[in-house]
Amino acid sequence: MTCLLEPPFRCLPPFQPFSPPRFRCYAAPGAQPLPSDPDTETLVLPLDGPKERREIVRLAWEKLVRWSRSLQSRAKTDVLERTNKIVVLGGGSFGTAIAAHVATRKSPLEVNMLVRDPQVCRSINEEHHNCKYFPQHELPKNVIATTDAKAALLGADFCFHAVPVQFSSSFLEEIANYVDPGLPFISLSKGLELNTLRTMSQIIPKALKNPRQPYVVLSGPSFALELMNKLPTALVVASKDQKIANSVQQLMASKNLRINTSSDVTGVEIAGALKNVLAIAAGIVEGLNLGNNSMAALVSQGCSEIRWLATKMGAKSTTLTGLSGTGDVMLTCFVSLSRNRTVGVRLGSGEKLDDILSSMNQVQKIELLYHFLALSVLSP
């Protein structure tokens, strides 16, 4: 749209590729209407001074805003309507929460969870509960669990990867033959692979033997329990393909879940991997009763070091001060629901590491040992 603010004033109709509502603004004196067009609305206002000019611009802008919102609303509906099946790899707490959330977005949507525990599989299908992680929360009826990777992945439109990082490579290699080359993978897993220090954006394409596998990382300050309770939450999805990031945003966004988009995959992944290390240290400070001053010093310095490392790896500094950076650090370091912070508190209170490990399952043990290894490497 072209607007001339000096008399004669005109707003030419915008281009037509998306068929927006067309309108024409012109004002006396001296302005001639454009050729007649039945599809174009005409606004005629007297042009006696700056006040009238501002009114014309305001009316034109409001029309454009209404058209833009209408177009965005149709796009969101289209993504959800086109999606018939999603698959969640992993039956843990966060994977279950994401499966339940997406399932509530559209009742005919088929949500398959690929799990390895037959007991969890039965409890989801027969009782609509994840007996291991959420025994008190009822899952939507369209959430279906299976131990068959081929059946779970067949015909899926989106794949949410919720398998712990340390097991992801071997797991994905086993199911690679059933993965469609164009299936978008949304990674929910946070961390770096031991020994190789690879991120999920490096692990998934190599394990699937497809460097062009569409990839999105989802991260941000979120506890699975609060997602299950439908409490307000904000997350970020990052992908080098903005179109896929927008599709995931439209698939997941709801009245209780806000989804931001980003192109900074490296920043989102590194922040998500290192915030747990900082949470253990914050828990130790709490367990030792070192006070609020030392807690503030530790977390602020830790954030600076994460930002320094991430930017050296190519991340944007703004990402590290956003949801996936500072937001996730605040949640993990200061809230008692954080498992890593709780481990730090127990250590600082004098418990032995062996006793803490004995109270965890095998997956939690391996993740915790990874975080301790990272902590020892990063500490001066």
Q: Which segment of 22-36, 170-184, 209-223, 312-326 scores lowest on mean pLDDT?
A: 22-36
End-to-end distance of the chain based on CA atoms, in angstroms? 58
156-165 confidence digits (pLDDT tens): 999 999 999 9
239-256 confidence digits (pLDDT tens): 999 999 999 999 999 999
- Mean pLDDT computed over every residue of the chain: 85
81-138 confidence digits (pLDDT tens): 899 999 999 999 999 999 999 999 999 999 999 999 999 999 999 999 999 999 999 9
Length of the chain: 380
For residue 341, pLDDT over 50 is answered with yes
200 neighbors 165 (Cβ within 8 angstroms) = yes
For residue 334, pLDDT over 80 is answered with yes
C-alpha distances out from residue 357 to 64, 263, 284, 363, Å:
59, 37, 16, 11
Residues 248 and 79: their CA atoms lie apart, in Å, by 9
**Higher pLDDT residue, 313 or 361?**
313
Q: Which residues are catalytic, by number?
A: 275
Residues 296 and 360: their CA atoms lie apart, in Å, by 29
| Average pLDDT, integer, range 22-49 | 50
| Residue percentage of the chain with pLDDT more than 70 | 80
For residue 20, pLDDT over 60 is answered with no
What residues contact residue 291 under an 8 Å CB cut-off, 6+ apart?
none
Check residue 1 and give its pLDDT: 41
For residue 272, pLDDT over 80 is answered with yes
For residue 355, pLDDT over 60 is answered with yes
Domains annotated for the chain, with CATH where assigned, are 71-263 (3.40.50.720), 268-378 (1.10.1040.10)
| Average pLDDT, integer, range 282-310 | 95
For residue 6, pLDDT over 90 is answered with no
Check residue 48 and give its pLDDT: 57
Confidence of residue 63 (pLDDT cuts 50, 70, 90): confident
| Residue percentage of the chain with pLDDT more than 90 | 66
Confidence of residue 55 (pLDDT cuts 50, 70, 90): confident
Compute the CA torsion angle 122, 128, 134, 138 (nearest 10 deg). Answer: -170
199-250 confidence digits (pLDDT tens): 999 999 999 999 999 999 999 999 999 999 999 999 999 999 999 999 999 9
The pair of structure tokens assigned to 313 is 């790896």
Check residue 329 and give its pLDDT: 96
Check residue 364 and give its pLDDT: 57
Which residue reads 């070192």 in tokens? 290
Check residue 365 and give its pLDDT: 52
Strands (E), 67-206: 85-89, 110-114, 143-146, 158-161, 185-187
The pair of structure tokens assigned to 83 is 């999606």
**Higher pLDDT residue, 19 or 170?**
170
102 neighbors 109 (Cβ within 8 angstroms) = yes
For residue 8, pLDDT over 50 is answered with no
Check residue 165 and give its pLDDT: 92
| Average pLDDT, integer, range 24-39 | 49
| Average pLDDT, integer, range 284-307 | 95
